[in-house]
Structure 1
Amino acid sequence: METVMELCCTRLVALLVVPLVTTACIGAELDEESEALLAEAESAIESNNGYLPNALSLNALSLNALSLNALSLNALSLNALSLNALSAIKNPGANGTASREVLRYVVSCALRPDQMFSFSWTDSAGVVRQEVYRGDLGYAHWWPTTPLGTAYSDNTYVQSQITACLAARMNWYGISVSISLRNNEMTSTSAERAAYPVREGAFWGNVFANTEAPFLRACYSSDAGSIARARQVQRDCAVGHLSVDPVTGATTVQQCGPMVIVGSCETVCNGSDNTNGFYRGCLKNPSVSPWERWDQVMTTFLTPAPSP
């Protein structure tokens, strides 16, 4: 079973897409039969890397507006959010725009398709705006009632899965690109693998961390064809954005906001899944330790270049 997603994130019963926003109402639970289907079905995902007309922007996760590690300490409902979080998502200025964008993506990654988060805010012209953010992937469907940071003794796993979901959807240009997302919880069908055969790279980290500094990492496929395809479709967050210095003419490689590109995936990640092609894990921080691994990794795949 597979799911093709528009920027607005639709998904078949077993497939969850990735949008991100903020809402204050939690939707009805799925019935037991649907829950069983979700649990048993493969989690293949085809997704446009953005829920809105723009993908998750470079600096949205720089944590200068909506604090994600603080957000994780409360339930994901309007009544449970801290005053600082409420102020951030209702801000009519640029910081408010960034905060709402991040929250939209968080909701998409954390909640299920039958759940949503809604709220209203007032813009600078005095117009009341209503936001309704629906879930997709369901990594933390219990978050509306139980704080993400205290739900389990090993809450790092869920925080890291949501983080990888967020990072894989960042885009330097703020445009939508059709991608296939795969990891240990999201495999793929043969049709999806045939449509998205180009492995772009991988993403991991934890932007919700409370016991250590939040971090984002990315690596790229060292295959020249994969790098060329990523640049062709304007997916620059794994391979880095090429920029030319107007004075010296030198070409430099820039990162997507707070995301650190640590090199080629072949160098920093372990073996890939034989069928689905995703990396099973990568080094948490290669510049610090050549041994400490991170297993909650999202691998992204692209469509091939058109035939000449």
Structure 2
Amino acid sequence: MTDEELDEPIGEAEGAVVAGNGALSNIINRNALLSGALTPSLLGANALKPSALSAAALAAIQDPGPQGALSRQLLQYVVSCALRPDQSFSFTWTDSGGTSRQETYSGYLGIVDWWVYGPLTDPFYQRYISACLAARTNYYGVPVMISLRASQVSMGSSWNERSTYSVREGAFWGNLFTSTPYLRACHSPAGVARARALKRDCAAGHIKPDPATGAPITEPCGPIALAGSCDTVCEAVVADGGFYSQCLDNPAISSSARTDVVITSFLPP
């Protein structure tokens, strides 16, 4: 993704949201998840409103350089995942040319709309925001309409949404708010071909040639570790919505420890 794409006006990225259901666009840069400037843990330490930001968080989103662009994009998607459509986050920053920029990021899913009143310290909701961010990450920076589903009321799905977004892509989980942040994803085998056709590589991994041998290798999207097939690491899907109810939290370490804070993504056929 180029700097110009990172500086894309907020209205263009969020304009693809489908009103009235849980389907929304994804375009968050994989490098924004742990940019080194603004991180979810830095945001989570305070209420999600401009007046409550720490000096470090404010400096990160007002930075006119590339790291500032990543920080603003991360904040945009945190707000979209966390707050309701009638809530927003507004601030100003000055670009490298000295022009003052006004930003207003609107909420959408409303997973933790109460975050505006105090810090996000509950690991349950930290994991939901983390999973939402992971599911909306795109290796190529290409906007694709997706449907996110989980047991949260705000991520329920209508019959129309399920019929429009019928290809199960995979599942995402983790926690970006801990001292050792992590994200994981698994893929639904039946949805891999469609996901790759739509430039969605973060559930199954990005295929590229090995620089040394030229053989194809699978690369994760930034910090999103690949857990393999969801058929292997997750419980059977929930009939009402088609999402995975639980997945192994870390398949590489334990074959029994599971998390029920999982978001499943769906694509159009």
Q: Residue 259 of structure 1 is aligned with which of 203, 212, 224? A: 224
- Assess, with a 3 A threshold, how the Cα gap between structure 1 residues 249 and 203 changes in structure 2: closer, same or farther: same
Q: TM-score with structure 1 length normalisation?
A: 0.79
Structure number with higher helix proportion: 2
Whether 2:209 is the aligned partner of 1:250: answer: no
Residue in 2 that maps onto 1:126: 98
CA contact (8 A) 2:35 2:70 kept: no
Helix, strand or coil: the match of 1:74? coil
Residue in 2 that maps onto 1:173: 140
CA contact (8 A) 1:11 1:136 kept: no
Identity percentage of aligned residues: 51
Whether 2:157 is the aligned partner of 1:188: answer: yes
Q: Which amino acid aligns with 2:23?
A: E
Take 1:261 and 1:247, find their aligned partners in 2: how far apart are those partners? 22
Residue in 1 that maps onto 2:66: 94
- Assess, with a 3 A threshold, how the Cα gap between structure 1 residues 230 and 11 changes in structure 2: closer, same or farther: closer
**Structural mapping, 1:209-228, within 5 Å:** 209=178, 212-223=179-190, 226-228=191-193
CA contact (8 A) 1:107 1:117 kept: yes
Larger Rg: 1
Q: Which amino acid aligns with 1:131?
A: E
Offset of residue 11 of structure 1: 6.0
Residue in 2 that maps onto 1:239: 204
Take 2:199 and 2:260, find their aligned partners in 1: how far apart are those partners? 27
Offset of residue 187 of structure 1: 2.6
CA contact (8 A) 2:182 2:224 kept: yes
* Structure 1: unaligned runs, 5 residues or longer: 1-5, 16-43, 50-54, 150-154
RMSD, aligned CA = 1.7
Take 1:126 and 1:290, find their aligned partners in 2: how far apart are those partners? 54
CA contact (8 A) 1:110 1:137 kept: yes
- Assess, with a 3 A threshold, how the Cα gap between structure 1 residues 140 and 275 changes in structure 2: closer, same or farther: closer
Structure number with higher strand proportion: 2
Residue in 2 that maps onto 1:283: 248
Residue in 2 that maps onto 1:7: 14
CA contact (8 A) 1:74 1:80 kept: yes
Residue in 2 that maps onto 1:117: 89
Take 1:56 and 1:214, find their aligned partners in 2: how far apart are those partners? 18
CA contact (8 A) 2:17 2:25 kept: no
Q: 1:198-253: per-residue Cα shift (whole Å, max 9, x none)?
A: 111000111112xx511100000122xx1111111110000111111355221111
* Structure 2: unaligned runs, 5 residues or longer: 1-12
Whether 2:263 is the aligned partner of 1:295: answer: no
Helix, strand or coil: the match of 1:144? helix
Q: Which amino acid aligns with 1:208?
A: F
Residue in 2 that maps onto 1:198: 167
CA contact (8 A) 2:35 2:67 kept: no
Take 2:116 and 2:158, find their aligned partners in 1: how far apart are those partners? 31
Whether 2:124 is the aligned partner of 1:157: answer: yes
Q: How many residues end up aligned between the 2 structures?
A: 256
CA contact (8 A) 2:139 2:201 kept: yes
Helix, strand or coil: the match of 2:14? coil
Helix, strand or coil: the match of 1:188? coil
CA contact (8 A) 2:37 2:71 kept: yes
